[in-house]
């Protein structure tokens, strides 16, 4: 799977985990030059507290476009170290 925004590949992996229709990419598959830590957090009752990244490509910022659970609850331990995308990031097969 690939995650693409503004014509750049943000992540590329054959080992994503699908949860609630979202592909979670291993953090090792990210092109970190495009990611900047955001202050945003949200809480999911069964996954825990999500933290976010802003995605920046060619001077354009997609605020809070990627999220992850640094300490997921036990029901979501399988996505620890994985990142998912939304807000117009195109996630598709490679």
Q: What is the pLDDT of residue 87?
A: 97
Whether 30 contacts 90, CB under 8 Å: no
**CA nearest neighbour of 40 among 27, 55, 59, 18:** 55
Model confidence band, residue 6 (pLDDT cutoffs 50, 70, 90): very high
Tell me which architecture the domain covering 2-92 has in CATH: Beta Complex (2.170)
Residue 51 has pLDDT above 90, yes or no: yes
Whole-model pTM: value is 0.96
What rounded mean pLDDT belongs to the chain?
A: 97
Q: Kindly state the average pLDDT of the residues 75-94.
A: 97
Residue 94 has pLDDT above 90, yes or no: no
């Amino acid at each position: 799977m690939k995650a693409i925004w503004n014509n750049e590949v943000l992540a590329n992996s054959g080992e994503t985990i699908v949860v609630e229709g979202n592909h979670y990419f291993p953090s090792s598959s990210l092109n970190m030059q495009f990611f900047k830590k955001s202050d945003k957090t949200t809480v999911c009752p069964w996954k825990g507290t999500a933290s976010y990244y802003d995605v920046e490509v060619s001077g354009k910022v997609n605020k809070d476009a990627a999220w992850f659970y640094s300490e997921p609850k036990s029901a979501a331990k399988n996505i620890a170290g994985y990142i998912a995308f939304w807000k117009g990031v195109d996630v598709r097969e490679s």
